[in-house]
Structure 1
Amino acid sequence: MRDDTKKTLWREWLFLAVVIPLYGFVAFYSLGDRTAPQTYAVIDNQSGPLYFEVEEAPASVALYCPVNSATKYIDITISASANQMDWPVAFDTDDDPKDYTAAMIWYDYPLSCNNDTQYIRIDKHPASNRLVLAEIGFYNQEGSLIRAKALSENGGLVLDEPQTICRDSNRMNSAYFDESYFPSSALEMQDGLSVAEMDHPPVGRLIIGMGMNLWGRNPFGFRFMQVFSGILMLPLLYFCGRSLLKSPKWAGIVTILLALDFMHYTQTRIGTLDAFLVLFILGMYGFMVFYHNSQSLWRRYLFLLLSGVCAGCAIGTKWSGLYGAAGLALLYFFWLFQRIRFAWGTERRAILHECTWCILCFIMIPCLIYGLSYIPYAQTLGRSDFYGVAIEHAKQMLSYHTGTSTNYNHPYSSHWWTWFLALKPVFYYFEPAPANIYLYATGNPLVWGFGLVGAFYALWRGVCRLDDGGLVIATAYFSQLIPWIFITRDTFLYHYFPMVPFLILALGYFFQNTCTHPRIVGYRNLFIGIYLCAVVASFVVAFPFIYGSGIFWESILRIRLALQVSALLFGVLYSGLLIWAYCLKKKERL
């Protein structure tokens, strides 16, 4: 028995040593450029506009703004002059038909300049609080870079990195979707600039800032920590699954399914907050499971502490972490009630000491994490009372998330009931022909369909049979899903992401505990083997639009239809096995 245990552990570590680097390679593949402008000039009411002398009249200007103005947009007025007396407008973002408004994106603005233009002035709009420029490049009609000389004191800061200039914006050199907000606000807090967008607590932005400190303020840097979080989810889910399913084999299966999940891959490669939220929610439940299964007192206390830290970080990343935390509290108190019922004397005193420890872990530490995370943000406001700033910001966020500004019928928004089969994906990026690049967040119907059935199965076993595995999975999944049913603001498919790891655990739990009759279990295992091959194939086929490479829209529609039909077919086949198993059990009872 002792040797078998060591052999199993050796195989487990070997499995993780293969899966994690392999997934890491695919996840980091073409994540983003490592070069981007690092210095910048600030145009505000005190500094005034930037002036440049050019050797010939420019036809266009390429520029990069690392942060937005207080309006959450970039507002630019570019004027041209031959004598520094008259300054006709050569370009204004208000007049441009395109949506040239976002930070951390390269833009190529056309300029309407006279042939005798020698000077360029770049200024913010009067109503805007600032304009932050990192790099600019002026181009003539032939597309050649024009030599320019800064006439303003800080103008040289936007001409000092010409090797970073990109005239064509793409997902490798620029931000896409909501990346224009979160990394830029992380940069603002690092440099003490006023924060333009702060619709969530600061923890996630501080983590993004860690990636930029490691790799620079570039697309690779502000996406690095998300990928790293996605990688960390794999071993965490494995050991959580091992504790819940009591089987290295089934833990390995759910780990592979998470690594091949469409949403997990796409959402951990974009510079937003959701990857951190999912990691921390998975962590707080995983460590709670480890606590429940541990017999060592110091380990139980340690796992409670780690669970509380993850809960604090989840809530400090997004308030939706509170949904999972509420489910975690219900789970803990249920287990506590079961222990107290049969505990007496010394054991009851030990439970009371543990409850005192939980006050520290799940109330004091999360409050401490939440409050301390506001120190950089408070410094941008010139304040030291960071807890006061946190309270004021909480009121602002509550007003924002419950107000009309989040209920504008976004074309990519979706109702909660469409999430189960990913009926309405979220488009993140598009490049027209000849590239034909589509990138959007979606789910795999092969996985999510079975996972939904598994979630209800886990709920049934957890409630009716008080099975710990089913109880944990159902609590984690439904405690996060149910609040979204009552939310009236615009919601998106990526709001379902925190439930996906538990959906996959539910899938493994469902397969493990059904069709276990000796006459059927071999067919079940064959089915699961074929099913896993189909999931691998679906990841390969769908890779172009979950990664962002060239593919025709008609091909995407065919792939999505094929996946939905495949999910239905596999569902029918497994339903047949379930009916067969039921008939055999019924026959044995007679």
Structure 2
Amino acid sequence: MAWLGPLLVAALAGAIRFWRLGSPRQIVFDETYYAKDAWSMLRLGYEGSWPDRKIADPQILAHPQVIPLSDGGSFVAHPPTGKWVIALGEGVFGLTPFGWRFMTALLGTVSVLMLCRIGRRLFRSTFLGCLAGALLAVDGLHVVMSRTALLDLVVMFFVLAAFGCLLVDRDRARARLAAALPAGPDGRIRPDGDTGDRAGTGARPWRLAAGLFLGLAASTKWNGLYFLVFFMVLTLLWDVGARRVAGARHPYRAVLRKDLVPSALSLAPVAVVTYLATWTGWFLSDDGWGRHWADGRGGTWSWIPAPLRSLWHYEYLVYQFNVGLHTPHKYQSNPWSWLVQGRPVLFSYTSPQPGEDGCYTATPCTRTVLALGTPLLWWAACFALVYLLHRWALRRDWRAGAVLCAVGAGYLPWFLYQDRTIFSFYAVAFVPYLCLAVTMMIGAMLGPPGATERRRRTGTVAAGVLVLLIAWNFVYFFPIYTGRTIPYAGWQARMWLDTWI
């Protein structure tokens, strides 16, 4: 069951995400940028130039397809990894809606499998692990982002992979410390000050792998850098805790001497090298935007190779663009509203007339793709986060701290950019940890193993009702996650809040 359950949950997630993936057959929201940049990178190794989107989009979807791509470099606002990922699907299936959405659907499916395994390791329960994965499988925002060629789902995947690697590293490092502890006269292993202070934890390949994945996340969108910083602090605290449990008299000093360089600080160099490696296509090009900016320029930093200085200049301009992005948008939102799904983003909306496109009513219908999390899941997550704060602050539950750290890394930094144009679908980066939070709350509802039969029965009923309501809620909103044609009255009935319209 350690793998069978997670695989079954992942199969369900895959069926949801790949079902009619090529529909709607149109460029949805910002796919107009990333689908074309991905195709350009596949052909040129960097982002080339396209004509105005009003011209290029119909040509891409036309039959026969016309692709007006030129090799002149184009200034873009995000690093290349996410577009390389999208390009993998286009390389196999072509520049079609199915092709540019294939990899996000695949990563969305695999992320459900990963969360099942991560939840199993975190809670030491296959059932709770599968429950966490199942909640992610039926989250509407995760489904919509898995079926759309945007970058945020790719960030979520790499960060989740890094989180899983760090959990494995934590368990293995603690096992090595435990193995180093001496046995007492009675043969029992006990904490030992000398061992806790001086024992090494050996090679940390899983932590290096986490650095690789965090580098890939940051080279997809820069908000991946916040996860790197938060996770570095988290792993340091884990190492301190491990030293303390092992009996170290000076756990912080022991970590600084034994664990800082080979473990926590190894994340940053690996991430930086990974980030630079993802720009290989741009480095090898002659026409990438700004590629030769530093050629022949002198100055204080002339000792640094010109390609690196050109990249630094490019990144500086990207930073200026991103922090200065204040163009009003109808669906932008303040991060205060994200957890309650106050302002979802409408990705696509059409109004088929009677007799058209599956509209079999006497009145017009709608086809909508709305980036909305499953409401009951997100509202339950608000209570779950409060519960985890209690567990972490008052019970020192490391599991609660780990989940809160990941949520904080994906959520809190956006409060620094409240004046910038930002959207609620950015929250997909921390959706898996909301599912872990709800799962941990449900585990508490079920009660401890030694609870009375009445307590267990009551907790089981309450937990079961919550899970069934979340599942029903997802099924109810499924048509507006996947662009199914429904009567206009059905669409109105699903607009529970005025801010969703």
**Fold shared, TM-score > 0.5 on shorter chain:** yes
Counterpart of 1:557 in structure 2 is: 492
Mapped pair 1:418 → 2:340: no
2:229 is aligned, of 322, 326, 339, to 326
Secondary structure in structure 2 of the residue aligned to 1:561: coil
Secondary structure in structure 1 of the residue aligned to 2:485: coil
Change (3 A) 1:443 1:222: same
Mapped pair 1:427 → 2:346: yes
For 1:22-33, list aligned pairs within 5 A.
Answer: 22-32=12-22
Matched residue type, 2:323: T
- The answer on whether the counterparts of 2:107 and 2:154 sit within 8 Å (CA) in structure 1 is yes
Counterpart of 1:343 in structure 2 is: 248
2:308 is aligned, of 387, 402, 405, to 387
Counterpart of 1:401 in structure 2 is: 322
For 1:228-247, list aligned pairs within 5 A.
Answer: 228-247=106-125
Counterpart of 1:357 in structure 2 is: 262
- The answer on whether the counterparts of 1:374 and 1:389 sit within 8 Å (CA) in structure 2 is no
- The answer on whether the counterparts of 2:48 and 2:72 sit within 8 Å (CA) in structure 1 is no
Change (3 A) 1:542 1:32: same
Distance in 2, matches of 1:354 and 1:407, equals: 43
- The answer on whether the counterparts of 1:267 and 1:275 sit within 8 Å (CA) in structure 2 is yes
Please list the CA deviations of residues 339-392 of structure 1 after superposition, one character each: whole Å capped at 9, or x if unmatched: 4454379x9889845433236731221111111211212413355954333312
Please list the CA deviations of residues 465-522 of structure 1 after superposition, one character each: whole Å capped at 9, or x if unmatched: 2211111011111232222122120111111111211111011111212462523221
Change (3 A) 1:12 1:73: same
Secondary structure in structure 2 of the residue aligned to 1:551: strand
Change (3 A) 1:416 1:221: same
Distance in 2, matches of 1:544 and 1:199, equals: 32
Mapped pair 1:509 → 2:462: no
Counterpart of 1:546 in structure 2 is: 481
Distance in 2, matches of 1:539 and 1:424, equals: 18
Distance in 1, matches of 2:90 and 2:3, equals: 31
Counterpart of 2:387 in structure 1 is: 457
Count how many residue pairs are aligned between Structure 1 and Structure 2. Answer: 422
Distance in 2, matches of 1:339 and 1:311, equals: 23
Distance in 2, matches of 1:287 and 1:520, equals: 36
Instruction: Give TM-score scaled by structure 1 length.
Output: 0.65
Matched residue type, 2:330: P
Secondary structure in structure 2 of the residue aligned to 1:196: coil
- The answer on whether the counterparts of 2:392 and 2:400 sit within 8 Å (CA) in structure 1 is yes
- The answer on whether the counterparts of 2:445 and 2:460 sit within 8 Å (CA) in structure 1 is no
Please list the CA deviations of residues 58-103 of structure 1 after superposition, one character each: whole Å capped at 9, or x if unmatched: xxxxxxxx87xx998735xxxxxxxxxxxxxxxxxxxxxxxx6264
- The answer on whether the counterparts of 2:343 and 2:424 sit within 8 Å (CA) in structure 1 is yes
For 1:256-295, list aligned pairs within 5 A.
Answer: 256-294=134-172, 295=174
- The answer on whether the counterparts of 2:159 and 2:213 sit within 8 Å (CA) in structure 1 is yes
How much has 1:299 moved relative to structure 2? 9.1
- The answer on whether the counterparts of 2:9 and 2:113 sit within 8 Å (CA) in structure 1 is no
How much has 1:193 moved relative to structure 2? 2.3
Identity of aligned residues (%): 22
Please list the CA deviations of residues 444-464 of structure 1 after superposition, one character each: whole Å capped at 9, or x if unmatched: 121011112111221221122
- The answer on whether the counterparts of 1:301 and 1:354 sit within 8 Å (CA) in structure 2 is no
Structure number having the greater helix percentage: 2
Q: Which has the higher contact order (CA 8 A, sep 6+)?
A: 2
Change (3 A) 1:35 1:389: farther
Change (3 A) 1:339 1:217: same
Secondary structure in structure 2 of the residue aligned to 1:74: coil
Change (3 A) 1:366 1:385: farther
For 1:128-527, list aligned pairs within 5 A.
Answer: 163-164=64-65, 193-294=71-172, 295=174, 301-341=204-244, 342-343=247-248, 352=257, 354-358=259-263, 361-378=266-283, 379=285, 380-381=287-288, 383=292, 385-403=306-324, 406-434=325-353, 435=357, 436-487=366-417, 488-514=419-445, 516=447, 517-518=451-452, 519-527=454-462
Change (3 A) 1:512 1:271: same
Please list the CA deviations of residues 276-322 of structure 1 after superposition, one character each: whole Å capped at 9, or x if unmatched: 10011112222111211225659971211111111111111111112
Gapped regions of structure 2 (runs ≥ 5): 27-38, 41-46, 177-200, 293-304, 358-365
Please list the CA deviations of residues 10-59 of structure 1 after superposition, one character each: whole Å capped at 9, or x if unmatched: x23221232222321221122128999xxxxxxxxxxxxxxxxxxxxxxx
Change (3 A) 1:432 1:225: same
Distance in 2, matches of 1:387 and 1:277, equals: 24
- The answer on whether the counterparts of 2:61 and 2:96 sit within 8 Å (CA) in structure 1 is no
Mapped pair 1:74 → 2:51: yes
Structure number having the greater strand percentage: 1
